[in-house]
Chain A
Amino acid sequence: MSDNEHGGSKFTVPIGPQHPALKEPGHFEFGVDGEVVTSATVRLGYAHRGIEKAVETRNWTQNMYLLERICGICSHIHAMAYCLGVEALAEVEVPPRAQAIRVLVAELERIHSHLLWLGVAAHEAGFDTLFMYSWRDRETVMDMLEGLTGNRVNYSANLLGGVKFDLTAELAAEIKRGLAFLEERTQHYLDVVTSDELFLRRTRGVGTMTNEQAELLGVVGPTARASGVNRDIRVIAPYSAYKVFPVTPVVEYAGDLEARFVVRLKELFESYRLCRAVVDNLPPGDITTRFPRRIKAGEVVSRVEAPRGELFYFIRSSGGENPDRVKVRTPTLANMASVISLAVGHQLADIPMLLAGIDPCFSCNDRAVTISGDDDWTWERLRQLGIARYGRPAW
């Protein structure tokens, strides 16, 4: 705690580092003057496991299993980005049926991720009912994923050269039934987030990022699309079976938290449509093809659209059984800078929602840090501050 020039007191509120499930649990420090945030910094590293170094001592196949576990929420898209890159280096043509199944799993993953996010973001706003309902409905897509791949999380559907699992007629029918149910529920959620008075007070006009700022800050994914920046790798640089099953981009222009909710919910409809299209038009043929153990020397860039935004892989082979370098730039890192920049000028109570808005996997935690003697700020207390400030009726 220090005194500012005007004789008042400034506090530094540390948030983090531990979160129950954050891709890169972060430690944020918000300088506050009263309730207004005046500065923000970020410190990551709590989930730093040294993966980019580890890939150099594992072979191309082992690395697929490692990279899948960078993040449990979007594990398939990591494996997909890696496989697409390595297949390009090896100049191997993957059968169209396999590419279509990859896209199907990727879209199912996007559905589970957005529903997960919806629940957690609602929880941050104190809207626990929405959290429980959305996670109950999310179980439908978890069942589909388990039916198709054998696991609810970390599906390991990819192989270098194809996929491991094929779609049967029963599964196809189950998926379509589930999608119909989810579509109805999603419409309900869209109605709720755009009309619930208390919720809107936490989201409309909060955390606004203009189109200009979004471009300058280099944000990606739904965070960018909520500010009118039409960045969706599936659209601007279609990969895998997206060339055959094109995606219609979902863009909003208000740039506030409400827009970020709306974008993700509307994207769910697009994902449902895509899944149905893939299931109904699955190309015939094999699901794998032969793959060499040594990959030709070269460098490749692989860009895919993870649920959170653009996932970037740079892979370098020097001709051996192990990669020389795998560089991974996750969408959350790209969007992290926007939180730091947006936070300044906002109320402290808005911070949990701001963080939730970029969807950093999860953004709730319970690390208590004591600052200057008598004040213990936990995440929970911060959430309560937000809920109290916006949620309680005036009476």
Chain B
Amino acid sequence: MNSDLEWALEIVGEWALEHNAPAADRLDVRIKPEHTAAAARALIDARWGYLTAITGLDGSAEDGQLEVLYHYCRGASILTLRASLPRDHAAVPSVCGAVPMATVYERELAEMFGVMVVGTPDSSRLFLPDDWPDGVYPLRKDAALERAAPAPEEDQ
């Protein structure tokens, strides 16, 4: 682990449940969902780096939970904060207080995975069409996409 990542671990230490380094420039830290906003604030205030993406994952956890990954970058180092969420009540606090531009990432997470992002300034759809049925979250492994299938042969 390089010195930047060591520093990152110090910053988020109080919320870190466990951590590991999957590659030379990467550090993964598992935290509770409710701490994502506080951790974001701490990293931004310390000017550690910037939030580069928020990834939703389904199927990575053995217990069938969803995971949300927050990727922060400083130079070549990548810190990923990972939070596990129950599928039925998937909710995280918004990080937009610390990272205003995360709004587009949070909108994407919400519509693709059905994660409620509490306090996010804009929760309207970003990519999915207006007539997309509610409750169908495309990137979940069990998404009922047939409910949303467009009818190809329609009026000419």
- Which residues in A have some Cβ–Cβ distance to B below 8 Å? 41-45, 48, 50, 52-53, 88, 215-218, 236-237, 298-301, 303, 310, 312, 314, 316, 318, 324-325, 327, 329, 333-334, 336-338, 341
Contacts and interface: CB of A to CB of B under 8 A. Distances in A.
Interface of B: 22-23, 25-26, 50-53, 55-60, 69, 71, 73, 75-76, 78, 80, 99-105, 112, 122, 124-129, 138-139, 143, 145
Contact of A218 (B80, B101, B122, B129): B101
Given A312-B71, A324-B59, A43 B124 contact: yes
B92 to A, nearest CB: 17
Q: List 9 tightest A-B contacts by C-beta distance, closest first.
A: A337-B101, A237-B76, A329-B53, A48-B127, A327-B55, A45-B127, A218-B50, A236-B75, A312-B53
B84 to A, nearest CB: 15
- Where chain A touches its partner, the secondary structure class is mixed
Given A48-B127, A310-B52, A325-B57, A298 B22 contact: yes
B127 A338 contact: no
Q: Most chain-A Cβ atoms within 10 A of its Cβ — which of B60, B76, B112, B127? A: B127
28 contacts: A42-B104, A43-B124, A50-B138, A52-B139, A53-B139, A53-B145, A217-B101, A218-B51, A218-B101, A218-B102, A236-B76, A237-B25, A299-B60, A303-B78, A312-B52, A312-B53, A314-B53, A314-B55, A314-B69, A325-B55, A325-B57, A325-B59, A327-B53, A327-B55, A333-B104, A333-B105, A334-B101, A336-B104
A301 B57 contact: no
B101 A45 contact: no
- Where chain B touches its partner, the secondary structure class is mixed
Nearest to A45: B127
B101 A301 contact: no
A327 B138 CA distance: 13
Nearest to B80: A301
B100 A337 contact: yes
Nearest to A313: B53
Nearest to B126: A44
A43 B126 contact: yes
